[in-house]
Amino acid sequence: MSEFEKCTVDPAAREMLVKAKKIGFLTSFDRAKAQEPRCNFGNSGICCRICLQGPCRIIPKKLGANKGICGASDYTIVARNTVRYIAGGASAHSDHGRHIATAVLHVGEGHAKDYKITDSAKLLKVAKRIGLPTEGKSINEVAVAVASEALKDFGRQDTAPCTWVESTVTEGRKKKFKDTTIMPSSINGSIAELLHQTHIGNDADPVNIIFSGLRVALGDYDGMQLATDLSDVLFGTPTPTVTEANLGVLDPEMVNICVHGHNPLLSQVVVDTAREMQEEAKAAGAKGIKLSGICCTGNEVLSRAGVAIATNFATQELAIMTGLVDAIVVDVQCIMPSLRSLSECFHTKVVTTMPISKIPGSYHYEFDEENAVESARAIIRLAIETYKRRDPEKIERQEYKNKVVAGFSLEAILEIFASVNPDNPISVLTEAIKAGELKGVALFAGCNNLKGTHNQNHVEIAKKMAANDVFMVATGCAGQAYAMSGLLTPEAVEAYAGPGLKAFLNRISAKADLKTALPLIFHMGSCVDNSRATSLLTLMANELGVDTPDVPFVASAPEPMSEKAVAIGAWNVAMGIPVHIGVIAPTTGSDLVHGVVTQIAKDVFGGYFIMETDYAKGTDKLLAALEERSWKLRIRSAAKAKYAERETAN
């Protein structure tokens, strides 16, 4: 195996790594190698840096060193470190949601002239769901009311539950969250309280700390649900769209602008404004402007505007290395600071846009909600100017790209199912599971992690799940891995689906009024859109008449990396889902904490973490979890039918 085969399974990325080596540029792949060997204290979570006396490292057999200086045990340290990841993730997601909610509020109040309520039907639906009156009110008034409710979820001072949790989960989950005291009242308040709770000399009880971590994780869920709802309100609810993915989408004859990060507030405006500026690009000698996306901003504009995907997290530097990217416009999260130093070797301009995410030496065009189109125009003009300075010697055109069928919001999925059963669309899925045609549903989410081979876990696990008749949905960099590898296509159904999944998808494709047949995996959007997948789970549970822990539904983050992924994993566990992660989390330093997250959580919430780096073993564990649940479901519904028959006979 060549050194590049070990780095990534993606052929385009491998070629670019060869180029990186040739020009002597160190990429994230080189830096990951340079970090080895890792420190075992950090790896297992028993390094504490919470106060300035630290770092304290736990050495179990050394007298005096089996606790931190303050006397904190391994279980306290591991629990504190773990929940502080969740706090970081929840801050990032919910701040994103707060930003969108503020924009909706401003639109409703008549400011933010560059934005509008695009999906008023969704706005009304959300208002109804959260119990707000809409009759006799203008759309703008409803927007103000809904956005104000969303903003209350960030800073509520009483004990009322967060609205977006309360209004989107099953009755069973609501009760569970209240009984276990993890129902959040305020996103920001729960994060602040957790940081307080994990300060030196505070909570030493690992279980109490973990429960608070779960409360913050549900705050993360709340922020994601409202971010998805309100992004749909502002920019439209995604519908199926056909586009392409991988570095081959970068077009040598066009001005190439990559949007990268997470928040669609600017990127969507860049996409819309670029459409009106094609002539300026032509005047500069290009055939037009080609937009493409990296990370979740890419997923947002893919889902709503059919924008192509350039690549995902681990390979973001390699896009610049093609010599074809004229500007890379970034907003927040998952942006490697190395983009800036790499851009120095090329003509590419790195443009930062958010006050909390600057990279020294890059161009900063501060995003201004009141003048978003103007900001977007200035950035696009910079890209057109930069295009003129491309160095033909440094261009390495990539041929690799794959067709992509994406844009599967929950609304879109239900509309597709409605082509088979207009009265009860969700039953199309649940009946297929009950009948044994499908084994269940798997959500693939999360990042790339440079501890493993880029995209390998994503692709291999999904192929094996497909062969075993699992209906699959995806978000985030997982969705992009599938886009890059050609798994978001009808052709992949033919190549990889088992007989049940193939029959299910083909039956629906034949009935649905779509321009293309259905793909193997349904791309549901960005990481905040994991909310869409949970709403699918909630619908399934209600249709099956059970709570979420009894639904044959599993989640996998085959290559998780960010604090956000930890937060998502944690609330998925609270939702009752078996959650596979393709890395070993730093919880192994405490048997107690590791046992809680991988086993005891199941007794309390029904969900639990499966930590498995080997993709074949990971898939087997996910399949076993699905089989157990679908088997129980069938037994239960057979028993129910039998008793119903007896009742009628009596």
Residues that bind ligand BF8 (CB under 6 A): 262, 295-296, 313, 334, 446-447, 476-477, 526-527, 561-562, 564-565
Q: Which residues make Cβ contacts (< 8 Å) with residue 242, sequence separation at least 6?
A: 306, 403, 404, 405, 515, 516
- With tokens 């998808």, the residue in question is 505
End-to-end CA distance of the chain: 69
Residues 511, 420 contacting (CB under 8 angstroms) = yes
Shortest gap between Cβ of 207 and ligand BF8 (angstroms)?
28
Structure tokens that stand for 444 in this block: 């693939």
Among 53-61, 282-290, 354-362, 481-489, the segment contacting ligand SF4 (CB under 6 A) = 53-61
What is the full DSSP assignment across 384-437?
HHHHTT--GGG-------EEEEE---HHHHHHHHHTT-SS-THHHHHHHHHTTS
Q: Quickly count: other Cβ atoms within 10 Å of residue 3's Cβ.
A: 12
Residues 294, 234 contacting (CB under 8 angstroms) = no
Q: Quickly count: other Cβ atoms within 10 Å of residue 393's Cβ.
A: 6
Q: Considering beta carbons, is residue 130 or 521 the nearer one to ligand BF8?
A: 521
CA 328 to CA 353: how far, in whole Å?
A: 11
CA 447 to CA 530: how far, in whole Å?
A: 13
Beta strands across the sheet bearing 327-330? 363-364, 349-352, 327-330, 255-260, 289-294, 308-311, 241-245, 402-406
Q: Which residues make Cβ contacts (< 8 Å) with residue 610, sequence separation at least 6?
A: 578, 579, 580, 581, 598, 618, 621, 622, 625
Q: Which residue is nearest to ligand SF4 (CB)?
A: 68
Q: Considering beta carbons, is residue 50 or 461 the nearer one to ligand SF4?
A: 50
The site partner of 313 among ligand SF4, ligand BF8, none (C-beta below 5 to 8 Å per kind) is: ligand BF8
Judged by CB under 6 A, does residue 56 bind ligand SF4?
Answer: yes
Work out whether strand 349-352 and strand 363-364 pair parallel, antiparallel, or are unpaired.
Answer: parallel
Shortest gap between Cβ of 63 and ligand SF4 (angstroms)?
16
Judged by CB under 6 A, does residue 54 bind ligand SF4?
Answer: yes
Among 64-72, 143-151, 162-170, 466-474, the segment contacting ligand SF4 (CB under 6 A) = 64-72
Shortest gap between Cβ of 406 and ligand BF8 (angstroms)?
15
Closest CA to 97 of 216, 226, 218: 226
The site partner of 497 among ligand BF8, ligand SF4, none (C-beta below 5 to 8 Å per kind) is: none
Shortest gap between Cβ of 57 and ligand SF4 (angstroms)?
9
Closest CA to 81 of 209, 190, 193, 219: 209
Judged by CB under 6 A, does residue 53 bind ligand SF4?
Answer: yes
The site partner of 264 among ligand SF4, ligand BF8, none (C-beta below 5 to 8 Å per kind) is: none
The site partner of 295 among ligand BF8, ligand SF4, none (C-beta below 5 to 8 Å per kind) is: ligand BF8
Judged by CB under 6 A, does residue 78 bind ligand SF4?
Answer: no
Q: Given candidates 18, 65, 69, 435, which one binds ligand SF4 under the rule CB under 6 A? A: 69
Shortest gap between Cβ of 96 and ligand BF8 (angstroms)?
9
Q: Given candidates 11, 21, 43, 70, which one binds ligand SF4 under the rule CB under 6 A? A: 70
Question: CA gyration radius for the chain?
Answer: 24
What is the full DSSP assignment across 324-347?
--SEEEE-SSS--THHHHHHTTSS
The site partner of 53 among ligand BF8, ligand SF4, none (C-beta below 5 to 8 Å per kind) is: ligand SF4
Q: Is 442 helix (H, G, I), strand (E, B) or coil?
A: strand
Shortest gap between Cβ of 594 and ligand BF8 (angstroms)?
23
Shortest gap between Cβ of 427 and ligand SF4 (angstroms)?
53
CA 65 to CA 48: how far, in whole Å?
A: 12
Q: Considering beta carbons, is residue 296 or 321 the nearer one to ligand BF8?
A: 296
The site partner of 68 among ligand BF8, ligand SF4, none (C-beta below 5 to 8 Å per kind) is: ligand SF4
Q: Considering beta carbons, is residue 296 or 577 the nearer one to ligand BF8?
A: 296
Shortest gap between Cβ of 14 and ligand BF8 (angstroms)?
20
Shortest gap between Cβ of 238 and ligand SF4 (angstroms)?
45
Q: Considering beta carbons, is residue 32 or 395 the nearer one to ligand BF8?
A: 32
Apex 625 CA angle, 620 and 626, nearest 5: 95
The site partner of 296 among ligand SF4, ligand BF8, none (C-beta below 5 to 8 Å per kind) is: ligand BF8
CA 126 to CA 411: how far, in whole Å?
A: 13
Shortest gap between Cβ of 609 and ligand SF4 (angstroms)?
24
Judged by CB under 6 A, does residue 204 bind ligand SF4?
Answer: no
Footprint of ligand SF4 (CB under 6 A): 48-51, 53-54, 56, 68-70, 72, 77, 200
